Structure 1
Amino acid sequence: MNQVCSIPEHGVNVEFICLNQYCRDFRIFCFKCLQSEKHNSHMKDVHKLKDYGRLFDNKSNTVFEDFERNIEYVNTLFEWLRDEMFNNNHLSQEEFEDLSIEQLHDYLCSKLQMQSQKQSILGTINKNVDHLIQTLNNCISDLELSSLDSPGKKIKGELSTINYEVINSTEEQQINSIAFNFDSTVMVAGYESSKIKVFDFNDGELKINQEINLHKKSIYCLYHMKKTKEFISGSCDKSIIVFQYSDDQQWHLKQQLEEHQGGVNCLVVNREEDTIISGSDDTLIKIWIRENDYWTCHQTLIGHKNYISSISLNKTENQIISCSKHPQILIHQQETKSRIWVLLQTINVTTWGRRLCFITDSVFTFQAEKKEQLYVYELNPKTNFFQKTKNISVDIGTCKMKKRGCFWFFPQQFITEKSILVSKNECSVNLMLFNQDGQFIKKQSIDYCTSGVFGRMTDDGQYLITWDDISRGLQIRQLKQ
């Protein structure tokens, strides 16, 4: 590295690095700096710059070797415990019949006592395993946030400006929901009139490919699969339809899911795309699983007291947050062994909200109705429960139509690639950067002068597509940096 020392009068290239974690001096320095005794108190932590790679590789190898040994030891203990607990030690029929009444009594008492002891041990182990899993998830989230401090990610992730400018617009009837495929070349739009249109999307230009009329009422939500040529739609007609792209280059109905008793307001799909999570006017959340390419309802989650407005799945995909037109946020967690979702936490809020979103496993945001603050909830590592930690000021916009609610169908969206949170609030769409320090910084607010605005951002953060009831059309905005 031919870098000159940060002290101009030294005028020579740097040669040394300091790895003392408590050192407050500049960590990259030259021989003249060393002579000034700046790092004299911890010379054992001063090394040649050229040895950087070897130093960290050695430390990492030692840490991971210890980690691997611990994993092997835990596995050995689990195997031993399993063998001991599930060792039957049953008497044969002949041995059983040869026992006296007293011996038989003692044997049965011993077996029952052993059974109770096993259940108690398993309960204790499962509880501690759940705690360990949560701890590991927290550590993973912390590492993910810390990785944002690396020079490469910091340059990529922390945008100095966020400015989305209109590059195209077209008149359309009311669109409630928008979804994109994995590379944002296909856009699906769901209409208030109950129809669905499929467009080619290329550099901000739209070209219609197909119009579908299978739902009986308004389309409320859409999701385009990323791994397959399929998309799903949720409607006011209480149904979810799975569409598939066929050899005739048209989209056709593949399966219709009809267990909800109210309109389907929101849909979430996991990364493997074998689980759909839906929220409805019937106050229920349904978990649908794909088996042999056929969808069935696996579980129904209760607890909400009014129609569900938003749901979000965390990155580890073991927790669901949801809100409804009732001042509560519910958090469900999936049990490791049974794969059943159970209610983990109920958060009471002063005002109900329409939108929430996981940012990381340990951070989520919630937009309360008609509030000029975005609420941030963070996981408390001591209690393993979420609690509100911040109120972020956000714009509410200027509504030209009085006495209107915020409207549904524009879910919060976190763009991981650019660390941008998209959050509609009344008449404004607020675009915020989640920086490497875990802070939300508002970068742009778009005032549509109406709460009747719906839309979505492409997963790469390049385009923001919206429909509003003042312009009566789609507006396509592109990121300008």
Structure 2
Amino acid sequence: MTQIQQEKEITQQNSISNIHFKYNLVNSIKQQQKCHSIIFNQISSMLIVTCNENLKIFQFKQGNIKQISFINGNLYNNNCLLFINLQNQFISSNSNGQIRFWSLNLLKNNKSLQCINNDQKINCMLKNREENLLVTGQAYQITFWVRNNQWKFLKSFEVDEEVHGLTLNESSNMILACGRFNYILVIKKIINDWILTKSFHILEGGVRILFYQENKFAFQPWCGNFLQIYTIDAKNEISLIQEVKIKNQQMKTCAFYSPLQFIQNKSIILNKNQNCLILIILKENGELINQQTIQFHFPYVYGQLSNDGNYLVSWERHIKKIQIWQYTQF
């Protein structure tokens, strides 16, 4: 990136981060089955949701959705979804540990391109920028998969409990993991291998973790009152630099899935805690501010922002609706 491009990006970032915003409810459709995962394709023209053991594919345009395909599943609930944009494909995983790879061009066949039978239910997934590496988190294990013509097992790391959160930095050479254990794991790419290099003790486990800059990440302790913000330096040492106050209903329970999400062009982080979806803005001075909290009836709520940040899509078990919220500046 040239100096002029960098200056333009900084100027744009600064102007965006001073904007006040709100997401307003603009549309909803009935959805009885559980939607644990919601994803957009890269250009936010397509929306895929899990519906218990099934999958629904929608066309998405300016806040309106139209179902265009339906995939019949098996007896096991789907929990995680991930788009592979370069291949026009997506990945689903279910509670029986199966990982399935689907082509958007072959949905009418209702057959996946590949199915991997994993020993444990997948709780979280991430991919690298080149979309040839897949990392999954499950009970007692973090597993790496690589793609040539087909996806295949690369390696795994054993951990003490269930893994519920994974995040990859911008350079694609460091992964952080969190879960039902009181530490954050650091896995680094050294030459061409991934090495578990360090673990940091924390007071309480959590299910959401996110790199939003190269050396800064957010971590949500389980049902905590704050979203914790850390830096990690060249020696892999972490420092707590901010705690963002978030609404807490003292429910003492939350829900898995619905990972933290960062929308760079709008400097927005989407967080989920207990029965709330929380929109947090990154200011030009690096401070994070709680901008909006959308409160639902129960903690079983799941959300995803479109990749341009113009829309938020949510599903909550109590109202059993897919709801669409539109970004508005003020």
Shorter-chain TM-score tier:
over 0.9
Deviations 1:431-450 (A, max 9, x none): 11112221101111111131
Structure with bigger strand share is 2
Q: Does 1:355 align with 2:208?
A: yes
Q: Using the alignment, how far apart are the partners of 1:159 and 1:185 within structure 2?
A: 28
Determine the structure 2 residue equivalent to 1:224. 83
2:121 equivalent among 256, 260, 263: 263
Determine the structure 2 residue equivalent to 1:288. 145
Q: Does 1:375 align with 2:228?
A: yes
Contact 1:355-1:366 at 8 Å conserved across structures: yes
Determine the structure 2 residue equivalent to 1:365. 218
In structure 2, the residue corresponding to 1:201 is in which secondary structure? strand
Q: Does 1:443 align with 2:291?
A: yes
Distance 1:274 1:251, change over 3 A: farther
Distance 1:247 1:240, change over 3 A: closer
Contact 1:366-1:374 at 8 Å conserved across structures: yes
Determine the structure 2 residue equivalent to 1:306. 161
Residue 384 of structure 1, CA deviation: 3.6
Structure 1 length as normaliser, TM-score? 0.65
Residue 228 of structure 1, CA deviation: 2.0
Deviations 1:207-245 (A, max 9, x none): 111111234311111011222220000110111000013
Residue 380 of structure 1, CA deviation: 3.4
Q: Which one-letter code corresponds to 1:307 in the other structure?
A: E
Determine the structure 2 residue equivalent to 1:206. 65
Q: Which one-letter code corresponds to 1:418 in the other structure?
A: K
2:313 equivalent among 434, 441, 465: 465
> Following superposition of structure 1 onto structure 2, how do residues 22-37 of structure 1 map, counting pairs within 5 Å?
none
Q: Which one-letter code corresponds to 1:391 in the other structure?
A: E
Q: Which one-letter code corresponds to 1:372 in the other structure?
A: N
Distance 1:198 1:310, change over 3 A: same
Q: Using the alignment, how far apart are the partners of 2:112 and 2:11 within structure 1?
A: 48
In structure 2, the residue corresponding to 1:188 is in which secondary structure? strand
Q: Using the alignment, how far apart are the partners of 2:130 and 2:108 within structure 1?
A: 25
Distance 1:177 1:351, change over 3 A: same
Q: Which one-letter code corresponds to 2:173 in the other structure?
A: N
In structure 1, the residue corresponding to 2:281 is in which secondary structure? strand
Determine the structure 2 residue equivalent to 1:343. 196
> Following superposition of structure 1 onto structure 2, how do residues 118-267 of structure 1 map, counting pairs within 5 Å?
150-155=10-15, 157-172=16-31, 173-191=33-51, 193-246=52-105, 252-258=111-117, 260-267=118-125
Q: Does 1:316 align with 2:174?
A: no
Determine the structure 1 residue equivalent to 2:182. 327
Residue 153 of structure 1, CA deviation: 3.5
In structure 2, the residue corresponding to 1:169 is in which secondary structure? strand
Residue 250 of structure 1, CA deviation: 5.6
Q: Using the alignment, how far apart are the partners of 1:241 and 1:149 within structure 2?
A: 38
Contact 1:167-1:478 at 8 Å conserved across structures: yes
Of structures 1 and 2, the larger Rg is shown by: 1
In structure 2, the residue corresponding to 1:411 is in which secondary structure? coil
Q: Using the alignment, how far apart are the partners of 1:278 and 1:385 within structure 2?
A: 24
Q: Does 1:387 align with 2:235?
A: no
Q: Which one-letter code corresponds to 1:298 in the other structure?
A: L
Deviations 1:176-224 (A, max 9, x none): 0011111111111112x21111111111111111111234311111011
Structure 2 residue ranges without an equivalent (≥5): none
Structure 1 residue ranges without an equivalent (≥5): 1-56, 61-142
Structure with bigger helix share is 1
In structure 2, the residue corresponding to 1:308 is in which secondary structure? strand
In structure 2, the residue corresponding to 1:299 is in which secondary structure? strand
Distance 1:215 1:316, change over 3 A: farther
Contact 2:72-2:110 at 8 Å conserved across structures: no
Q: Which one-letter code corresponds to 1:440 in the other structure?
A: L
Q: Which one-letter code corresponds to 1:185 in the other structure?
A: S
In structure 2, the residue corresponding to 1:307 is in which secondary structure? strand
Q: Using the alignment, how far apart are the partners of 1:330 and 1:356 within structure 2?
A: 11
Contact 1:373-1:391 at 8 Å conserved across structures: yes
In structure 2, the residue corresponding to 1:217 is in which secondary structure? coil
Q: Using the alignment, how far apart are the partners of 2:107 and 2:210 within structure 1?
A: 38
Q: Using the alignment, how far apart are the partners of 1:252 and 1:285 within structure 2?
A: 27
Distance 1:152 1:419, change over 3 A: closer
Deviations 1:127-179 (A, max 9, x none): xxxxxxxxxxxxxxxx97xx588434322x31421200000011102210011
Q: Using the alignment, how far apart are the partners of 2:285 and 2:216 within structure 1?
A: 13
Structure 2 length as normaliser, TM-score? 0.93
Distance 1:220 1:247, change over 3 A: closer
Q: Using the alignment, how far apart are the partners of 1:278 and 1:151 within structure 2?
A: 37
In structure 2, the residue corresponding to 1:227 is in which secondary structure? helix
Q: Which one-letter code corresponds to 1:234 in the other structure?
A: S
Contact 1:177-1:221 at 8 Å conserved across structures: yes
Contact 2:69-2:107 at 8 Å conserved across structures: no
Q: Using the alignment, how far apart are the partners of 1:474 and 1:322 within structure 2?
A: 29
Q: Using the alignment, how far apart are the partners of 2:67 and 2:238 within structure 1?
A: 44
> Which structure has the higher relative contact order (CA within 8 Å, separation 6+)?
2
